[in-house]
């Protein structure tokens, strides 16, 4: 069983790292400017343009590599913002309970109840210039609630466990219990949540960009899809243009999610099959 | 309940009109809000232009030479009583669909509706008009005053203002009052009384179907158009519309698409020219540099910017290539417009792409890079930048052009980056004068071209303080009051030589102060399919009545419709060729008559 | 005991109302924070199209500014807005002037509901069934192969998947029409022509939505069931020697409850997804008008759309909470 789990871990990590490599090492091996038109429009894949060109004659492969960077960057930053917020809100809520819990959870639920894309739209459309940082920030600030809810229930269950009880009996203070007893027990969970949030953030970025509300002056996987849709690539059969960005996005996002679940199952034996 | 379900089940399957008898066009806007022509344009449905007549039909792209012409529609003729009174005679045959004759009273009533209802866009010509006077049932006079006389606007009024039946609209106005333009949608086809060759049959969210009026009053004068049905379809996206067009479900679209790609696939699709540039130029694009943001108002800096931009290269890099625009903003493709260009002024003050010259200009003016950061400074030390050149996201061609502009300006030592906003934000900033540089449209040809362009971009009266929105033009805040008397004189001046001299002065200001940097001509989207209908205006059709079927300029497109015959027939037998085109008169007739008219006391 | 239930319900209702109020304020404020306003946009578009003379344009600009109160101070606009809202009036759209916002919503909302609700129910049922199946077979090849696939499907961007489906089944194989809601010219109604045509257009967006959301439900159900299967009472029953099928049925029953709550949460998620999807499929619905409203900054329409959507999401969650409260025995005792 252990071996199997490791295969999943290895496969998902492998997929993820190869996409990362494409984004990080790619532009170095394939130094084509993703922004400058080559003069040949909507060319199917060829030796000169391995993934063809778009309607403005820009190289799709070069855009893809650049887009992977943008998406990864946004994913990491957004997850780095959302994770601490989620852990903090969930942790306090779960440990303190009472009115504070009620309030925190109420606000969490408000954010949670609303379609994330609509929430993002409502906020994003009103930011005049959307750099990568702005988009990452917005996604980070809106994607923590699910984590908060999960952390809360984790904390609640950990709190009921024997060791917490014993610690309290031993006269340890709240903060100390949280820091010394609870947090270490949750580190693995927090880490896999980070991975999972990153995967979600990249999808969220794409969703925004795909309808023209994402990064305004940069190439991301989402903006590639946006242009493909604008210029009607589906109907015109320019599959080399719109298939790769979505495919890469799916691979990145799914491998991260698989990684997160594999990690979860590794650290959280209760989920393992008997 | 059962009855309701039953009626739904039975009562709905209406037959569609036969495709070969139907002329199908599109419109990209949202579902029709109604058919009340008094509603805001762009919202008021274009069908109102086919159902209600205008006094004249106008065209600025007539025949192979692309001339300005008039076609008397409801009017049979005009004469200048004096230089301030235009008399129009109505056709004796003209009558509404219900048989009531169309009279001068209808004209007067329709015009005066515009006085009472401020959104009555098409006829709100009261800034140029003093009075509409009924002489008798078929003779009407338009009276203006010396300060109000803007003859271009009168000409536009004759060709775009719709005449409505007084006997229907007077009671309606009494009923709805001030809400006539808002609450009254006029969306019941059976109630509409018009006087045009087609009437509304039925409509839904995604289409409006019009049927030919077979006993139309104009049938002996203009002939009856061949398409029995007009179908106007609404598409939610350009993609869906293009698809329908390729499949032959739509006969014409008014946007710019890659015609040659479709032709390569064997589709019977054509545009105005059969070879590059495929489309007629109009409505252009330029770089607007804000005078309100020093040192961007520095004439030498502006000149250097103009020299640094390769308009031709930018135009070529777009999916549908655009031609570089003439620096005067006058479209030099049309002979009559080109005749207005003052070559001497252009030689003295004009520019063309020459980055070395741009650098020399800056160097000579002491605008050099002193601190070695690659960016020049003004003599007083002000750094050239960081600035932005903006455009709106979603406008792919514009974004590409904007990127190239920034790129080329950086090459001569100006710190500029391209920045893209959503349309609302971008537009809001531009009309408030809150931008450094922006890539935006330059107006195209209408009656009064190029006066309308100079009026929009040189006139300090159309703009105002930074921070307040001025949507009309002069977003760059060019405050040269010397242009005002010239702009005011042109539309009142009957002597063509004097007009030409005035235009020379305007060109001098435009070029000397680099008011706008015109970059690209836009193109008139005119793409059609010959699968069902032939006889479309092209560069080769004799006496073609080229008119884009863009919503806002619709009434003038009617003759285009008369020029069509079913595929396989000879289009020279169309009602346009057999009946209609004999009525066409050059616009110069209007001006000549005006020049000869006695001066009003 | 009933007091507890009542208190729980009261708390839920108060929460729902508070959430709704929060949204109304947000929806009012956010669009007005950016430079530019809808009247400018409308007029700029007119200028671009019609090139009318400056005096007229200024007159129209002034008229609209007055009519929509766009130039007024924010608090005045807000009181106007609230007063209107209390009368049940959502105002007049600016980008589709002079249509009423309520009229526009009535034209578009039903089509989104027709797509969304069946898709949610079908994907919920199919997903949960799949989830239990996999949980039952956990650790086997089936689980090891299907679970990652489901996880992957769950991560496919809605919008892109829609493009791919459209490309394969409509553009390439030509099984389905390329977008649209029904063939133009048909009048919606309960007649054979229309229904068949509508379903033909409906199939692809519906399937796309179902396929993508099934993955999430299955994964959720799988872990829930496995969790329940590992719980003490099932272990006890297992020791008692009850048949596996019975155990599974017990586990399923308890796992279903949280899945119902998830339904509330997922409603919002799927609503967002379906809006994007509608854009790709050119399906008449809230997606296209939301996009239009945002891109023209049509304050009244944005408010109308978001108020309706927020109300729907909050109401669904409230109903789910209430049902949950009535069904879940634990709430009665706490």
Query: Per-residue pLDDT tens for B469-493?
Result: 888 889 999 999 999 999 989 988 8
- C91-109 residues labelled b (16+ CB within 10 A) or e (exposed): bbbbbbbbbbbbebbebbb
Q: Which residues of A touch B419 (CB under 8 A)?
A: 129, 216-217
- Fold assignment, C102-327: MetI-like fold (1.10.3720)
Please name the CATH architecture into which domain A2-33+52-272 falls: Orthogonal Bundle (1.10)
Q: Do B127 and C191 touch (CB under 8 A)?
A: no
Give the pLDDT band (50/70/90) at residue B5: very low
Size of interface A-B (CB pairs under 8 A): 46
CATH class of B24-212+586-594: alpha beta
- Chain B contact for A233 (CB, 8 A cutoff): no
Q: What average pLDDT does range B177-181 have in this prediction?
A: 82
The neighbour count for residue B167, using CB atoms within 10 Å, is: 15
Give the pLDDT band (50/70/90) at residue C147: confident
d(Cα A198, Cα A263) in Å, to the nearest integer?
15
d(Cα A178, Cα A163) in Å, to the nearest integer?
12
The neighbour count for residue A179, using CB atoms within 10 Å, is: 12
Torsion sign over Cα C187, C191, C195, C197: negative
Q: Can you give the pLDDT at residue B472?
A: 84
B389-411 tens-digit pLDDT: 999 877 878 888 898 899 899 99
Q: Which of B176, B172, B159 is nearest to B125 (CA)?
A: B159
The separation between CA B133 and the C-alpha centre of its own chain, rounded to angstroms, equals: 29
Q: Can you give the pLDDT at residue B397?
A: 82
Q: Do A114 and C23 touch (CB under 8 A)?
A: yes
The neighbour count for residue C76, using CB atoms within 10 Å, is: 11
B261-286 tens-digit pLDDT: 889 889 999 998 888 888 888 778 99
Torsion sign over Cα C93, C98, C99, C101: positive
Q: By CA distance, what is C155's nearest residue in A? A: A254
Average pLDDT of the residues of chain A: 81
Q: By CA distance, what is B316's nearest residue in A? A: A39
| Tokens found for residue B597 | 């008219």
Q: By CA distance, what is C60's nearest residue in B? A: B119
B17-55 tens-digit pLDDT: 889 999 988 765 566 778 888 876 555 566 788 899 999
- Chain A contact for B411 (CB, 8 A cutoff): no
Q: Do B239 and A128 touch (CB under 8 A)?
A: no
- Chain A contact for C261 (CB, 8 A cutoff): no
Q: By CA distance, what is C64's nearest residue in B? A: B119
- For the full predicted model, state whether its pTM sits above 0.80: yes
For β-strands B75-82 and B67-72, DSSP reports them as unpaired
Between positions 161 and 180 of A, the ones with CB within 8 A of B are none
d(Cα B292, Cα C314) in Å, to the nearest integer?
49
The partner residues of B286 in beta bridges, in order of sequence, read B440, B518
| Tokens found for residue A257 | 């999610």
Q: Do A114 and C313 touch (CB under 8 A)?
A: yes
DSSP assignment of C65-88 equals HHHHTTTS-HHHHHHHHHHHHHTT
Q: Can you give the pLDDT at residue A1?
A: 47
The partner residues of A53 in beta bridges, in order of sequence, read A59
Q: Domain residues of chain A, as ranges?
A: 2-33+52-272
Q: Which of A230, A241, A242 to mutate to test the interface with B (most CBs of B within 10 A)?
A: A230
Minimal CA separation from A133 to chain C, in Å: 19
d(Cα A272, Cα A267) in Å, to the nearest integer?
10
- What are the helix (H) ranges across B317-354? 335-338, 343-349
d(Cα B327, Cα B317) in Å, to the nearest integer?
20
Task: To the nearest 10°, report the CA torsion of B252, B255, B257, B262.
Answer: 0
Nearest beta carbon to residue A253 from set C11, C155, C226: C155
Average pLDDT of the residues of chain C: 82
Q: Can you give the pLDDT at residue B138?
A: 94
Between positions 61 and 120 of C, the ones with CB within 8 A of A are none
A182-224 tens-digit pLDDT: 777 778 788 888 988 998 899 889 888 887 777 876 788 988 9
- Chain B contact for C232 (CB, 8 A cutoff): no
- Chain A contact for B403 (CB, 8 A cutoff): yes
Sheet order of strands, B207-212 included: B198-204, B207-212, B229-234, B22-27, B252-253, B527-529, B269-271
The partner residues of B162 in beta bridges, in order of sequence, read B54
Q: Can you give the pLDDT at residue A118?
A: 67
d(Cα B564, Cα A29) in Å, to the nearest integer?
58
Q: Do B420 and A217 touch (CB under 8 A)?
A: yes
Q: Is C187 left (phi over 0), alpha (psi -120 to 50) or beta?
A: beta
Q: Can you give the pLDDT at residue B311?
A: 92
B534-546 tens-digit pLDDT: 999 898 888 888 8
For β-strands B252-253 and B229-234, DSSP reports them as unpaired
The partner residues of B304 in beta bridges, in order of sequence, read none
The partner residues of B387 in beta bridges, in order of sequence, read B416
Q: What average pLDDT does range A97-126 have in this prediction?
A: 71
Between positions 146 and 175 of A, the ones with CB within 8 A of C are none
List C-alpha distances in Å: A39 to A34, A54, B287, B313.
13, 10, 23, 11
Kind and range of the H or E run holding B420: strand B416-421
Minimal CA separation from C64 to chain A, in Å: 22
| Tokens found for residue C192 | 């054979």
A53-68 tens-digit pLDDT: 887 788 899 999 999 9
Q: Which of C159, C174, C180, C225 to mutate to test the interface with A (most CBs of A within 10 A)?
A: C159
Q: Do C194 and B33 touch (CB under 8 A)?
A: no
Q: Domain residues of chain C, as ranges?
A: 2-86, 102-327
- Chain A contact for B109 (CB, 8 A cutoff): no
- Chain C contact for A111 (CB, 8 A cutoff): no
List C-alpha distances in Å: C324 to A101, A111, B380, C111, C318.
20, 20, 73, 29, 10
Q: Which residues contact C131 (CB under 8 A, 6 or more apart)?
A: C217, C218, C219, C220, C221, C222, C224, C225
| Tokens found for residue A41 | 């429009």
d(Cα A185, Cα A157) in Å, to the nearest integer?
11
Minimal CA separation from C114 to chain B, in Å: 18
The partner residues of B392 in beta bridges, in order of sequence, read B421
Q: Do B319 and A56 touch (CB under 8 A)?
A: yes
More confident residue, B115 or B466: B466
Nearest beta carbon to residue A106 from set C15, C227, C313: C15
d(Cα B385, Cα B401) in Å, to the nearest integer?
20
Q: Any idea which of B208-212, C117-121, C310-314 has the lowest mean pLDDT?
A: C310-314
Q: Is the ipTM value over 0.85, yes or no?
A: no
Residue B550 has pLDDT above 60, yes or no: no
Touching partners of B (3+ C-beta pairs < 8 Å): A, C
CA-based R_g, chain B, Å: 26
Touching partners of A (3+ C-beta pairs < 8 Å): B, C
Q: Any idea which of A155-164, A251-260, B71-80, C192-201 has the lowest mean pLDDT?
A: A155-164
Q: What average pLDDT does range B234-240 have in this prediction?
A: 75
Q: What average pLDDT does range C240-247 have in this prediction?
A: 80
d(Cα B322, Cα C7) in Å, to the nearest integer?
69
Nearest beta carbon to residue A56 from set B396, B421, B422: B396
The neighbour count for residue B455, using CB atoms within 10 Å, is: 26
- Report angle CA C35, C36, C39 to the nearest 5 degrees: 155
C82-123 tens-digit pLDDT: 888 888 888 888 877 778 899 889 989 999 999 999 999 999
Minimal CA separation from B465 to chain A, in Å: 22
Q: Do B419 and A235 touch (CB under 8 A)?
A: no
Kind and range of the H or E run holding B136: strand B131-136
- Chain C contact for A2 (CB, 8 A cutoff): no
Q: Do C185 and B204 touch (CB under 8 A)?
A: yes
Of all residues in chain B, the percent with pLDDT exceeding 90 is 48
d(Cα A258, Cα A7) in Å, to the nearest integer?
11
Strand, coil or helix: what is B79?
strand
Contact C273, C158 (CB under 8 A): yes
Q: Do A250 and C226 touch (CB under 8 A)?
A: no
Size of interface A-C (CB pairs under 8 A): 154
- Fold assignment, B284-521: Dipeptide-binding Protein; domain 3 (3.10.105)
Touching partners of C (3+ C-beta pairs < 8 Å): A, B
Between positions 293 and 322 of C, the ones with CB within 8 A of B are 295-297
Long-range contacts of C134-141 (CB under 8 A, 24+ apart): C134/C218, C134/C222, C135/C221, C135/C222, C135/C223, C135/C224, C135/C225, C135/C226, C135/C229, C135/C248, C135/C251, C136/C225, C136/C244, C136/C248, C138/A273, C138/C222, C138/C226, C139/A1, C139/A273, C139/A274
Q: Can you give the pLDDT at residue B233?
A: 84
């Amino acid at each position: 069983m252990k071996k199997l789990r490791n295969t999943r871990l290895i496969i998902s990590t492998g997929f993820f790292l190869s996409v990362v490599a494409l984004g990080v090492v790619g532009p170095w091996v394939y130094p084509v400017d993703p922004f400058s038109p080559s003069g040949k429009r909507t060319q199917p894949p060829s030796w000169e343009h391995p993934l063809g060109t778009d309607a403005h004659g820009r190289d799709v492969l070069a855009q893809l590599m650049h887009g992977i960077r943008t998406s990864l960057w946004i994913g990491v930053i957004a997850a780095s913002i959302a994770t601490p917020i989620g852990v903090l809100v969930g942790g306090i809520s779960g440990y303190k309970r009472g009115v504070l819990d009620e309030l925190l959870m109420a606000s969490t639920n408000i954010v949670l109840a609303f379609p994330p894309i609509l929430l993002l739209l409502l906020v994003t459309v009103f930011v005049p210039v959307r750099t990568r940082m702005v988009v990452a920030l917005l996604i980070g600030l809106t994607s923590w609630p699910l984590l908060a809810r999960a952390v809360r229930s984790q904390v609640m269950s950990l709190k009921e466990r024997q060791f917490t009880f014993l610690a309290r009996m031993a006269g340890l203070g709240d903060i100390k219990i949280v820091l010394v007893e609870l947090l270490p027990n949750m580190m693995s969970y927090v880490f896999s949540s980070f991975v999972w949030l990153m995967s979600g953030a990249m999808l969220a970025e794409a969703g925004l960009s795909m309808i023209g509300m994402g990064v305004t002056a940069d190439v991301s996987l989402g903006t590639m899809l946006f242009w493909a849709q604008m210029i009607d690539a589906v109907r015109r059969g320019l599959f080399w243009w719109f298939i790769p960005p979505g495919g890469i996005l799916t691979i990145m996002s799914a491998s991260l999610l698989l990684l997160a679940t594999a990690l979860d199952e590794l650290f959280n034996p209760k989920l393992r099959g008997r | 309940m059962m009855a309701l379900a039953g009626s739904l089940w039975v009562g709905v399957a209406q037959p569609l009109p036969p495709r070969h008898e139907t002329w199908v066009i599109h419109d990209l806007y949202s579902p029709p809000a109604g058919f009340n022509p008094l509603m805001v344009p762009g919202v008021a449905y274009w069908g109102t232009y086919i159902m209600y007549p205008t006094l004249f039909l106008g065209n600025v792209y007539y025949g192979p030479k692309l001339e300005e012409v008039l076609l008397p529609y409801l009017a049979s003729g005009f004469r200048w009583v004096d230089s301030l009174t235009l008399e129009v005679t109505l056709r004796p045959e003209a009558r509404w669909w219900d048989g009531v004759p169309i009279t001068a009273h209808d004209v007067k009533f329709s015009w005066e509706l515009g006085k009472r209802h401020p959104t009555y866009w098409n006829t709100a010509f009261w800034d140029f008009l003093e009075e509409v006077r009924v002489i008798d049932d078929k003779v009407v006079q338009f009276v203006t005053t010396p300060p109000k006389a803007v003859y271009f606007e009168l000409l536009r009024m004759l060709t775009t203002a719709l005449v409505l039946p007084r006997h229907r609209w007077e009671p309606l106005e009494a009923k709805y009052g001030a809400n006539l333009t808002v609450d009254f949608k006029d969306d019941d086809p059976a109630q509409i009384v018009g006087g045009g060759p087609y009437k509304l049959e039925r409509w839904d969210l995604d289409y409006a179907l019009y049927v030919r009026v077979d006993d139309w009053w104009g049938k002996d004068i203009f002939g009856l158009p061949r398409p029995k049905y007009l179908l106007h379809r609404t598409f939610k996206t350009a993609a869906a519309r293009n698809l329908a067009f390729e499949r032959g479900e739509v006969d014409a679209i008014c946007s710019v698409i890659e015609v040659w790609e479709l032709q390569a696939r064997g589709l019977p699709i054509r545009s105005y020219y059969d070879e590059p540039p495929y489309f007629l130029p109009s409505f252009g694009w330029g770089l607007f540099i804000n005078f309100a943001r020093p040192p961007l108002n520095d004439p030498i800096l502006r000149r250097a910017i103009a020299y640094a931009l390769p308009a031709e290269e930018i135009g070529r890099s777009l999916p549908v290539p655009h031609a570089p625009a003439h620096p005067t903003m006058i479209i030099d493709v049309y002979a009559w417009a080109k005749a207005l260009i003052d070559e001497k002024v252009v030689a003295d003050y004009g520019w063309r792409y020459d980055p070395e010259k741009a650098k020399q200009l800056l160097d000579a003016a002491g605008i050099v890079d002193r601190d070695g950061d690659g960016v020049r400074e003004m003599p007083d030390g002000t750094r050239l930048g960081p600035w932005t050149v903006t455009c709106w996201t979603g406008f792919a061609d514009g974004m590409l052009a904007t990127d190239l502009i920034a790129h080329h300006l950086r090459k001569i030592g100006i710190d500029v980056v391209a920045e893209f906003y959503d349309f609302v934000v971008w537009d809001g900033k531009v009309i408030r004068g809150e931008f450094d540089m922006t890539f935006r449209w330059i107006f195209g040809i209408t009656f009064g071209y190029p006066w309308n362009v100079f009026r929009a971009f040189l006139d300090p009266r159309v703009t105002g303080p930074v921070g307040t929105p001025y949507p009309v033009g002069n977003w760059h805040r060019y405050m040269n009051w010397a242009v005002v008397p010239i702009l005011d004189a042109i539309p009142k001046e009957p002597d063509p030589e004097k007009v030409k001299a005035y235009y020379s002065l305007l060109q001098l200001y435009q070029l000397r102060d680099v008011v706008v940097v015109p970059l690209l001509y836009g193109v008139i989207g005119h793409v059609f399919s010959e699968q069902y209908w032939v006889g479309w205006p092209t560069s080769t059709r004799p006496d073609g009545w080229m008119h884009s079927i863009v919503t806002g300029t619709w009434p003038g497109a009617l003759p285009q419709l008369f020029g069509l015959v079913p595929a396989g027939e000879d289009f020279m037998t169309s009602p346009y060729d057999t009946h209609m085109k004999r009525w066409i008169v050059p616009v110069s007739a209007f001006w000549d008559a005006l020049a000869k008219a006695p001066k009003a006391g | 005991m009933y007091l507890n239930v009542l208190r729980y319900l009261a708390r839920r209702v108060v929460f729902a109302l508070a959430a709704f109020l929060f949204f109304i304020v947000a929806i009012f404020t956010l669009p007005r924070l950016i430079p530019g306003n809808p009247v400018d946009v409308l007029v700029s578009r007119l200028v671009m199209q019609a090139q009318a003379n400056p005096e007229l344009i200024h007159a129209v600009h002034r008229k609209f500014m007055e009519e929509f109160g766009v130039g007024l101070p924010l608090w005045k606009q807000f009181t106007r807005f609230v007063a209107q809202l209390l009368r049940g009036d959502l105002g007049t759209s600016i980008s589709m002037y002079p249509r009423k916002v309520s009229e526009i919503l009535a034209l578009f909302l039903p089509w989104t509901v027709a797509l969304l609700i069946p898709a949610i129910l079908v994907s919920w049922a199919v997903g949960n069934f799949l989830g239990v199946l996999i949980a039952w077979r956990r650790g086997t090849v089936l689980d090891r192969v299907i679970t990652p696939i489901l996880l992957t499907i769950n991560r496919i961007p809605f919008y892109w998947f829609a493009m791919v489906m459209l490309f394969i089944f409509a553009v390439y194989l030509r099984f389905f029409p390329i977008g649209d809601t029904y063939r133009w010219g048909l009048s919606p109604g309960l007649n054979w022509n229309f229904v068949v045509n509508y379903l033909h257009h409906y199939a692809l967006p519906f399937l796309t939505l179902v396929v993508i959301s099934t993955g999430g439900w299955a994964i959720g159900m799988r872990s829930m069931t496995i969790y329940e299967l590992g719980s003490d009472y099932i272990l006890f029953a297992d020791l008692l020697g009850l048949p596996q099928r019975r155990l599974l049925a017990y586990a399923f029953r308890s796992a279903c409850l949280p899945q119902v709550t998830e339904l509330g949460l997922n409603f919002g998620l799927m609503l967002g997804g379906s809006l994007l999807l509608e854009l790709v499929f050119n399906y008449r619905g809230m997606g296209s008008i939301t996009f239009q409203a945002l891109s023209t900054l049509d304050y009244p329409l944005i408010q109308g759309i978001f108020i309706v959507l927020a109300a729907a999401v909050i109401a669904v969650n409230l109903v789910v909470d209430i049902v949950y409260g009535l069904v879940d025995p634990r709430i009665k005792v706490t």
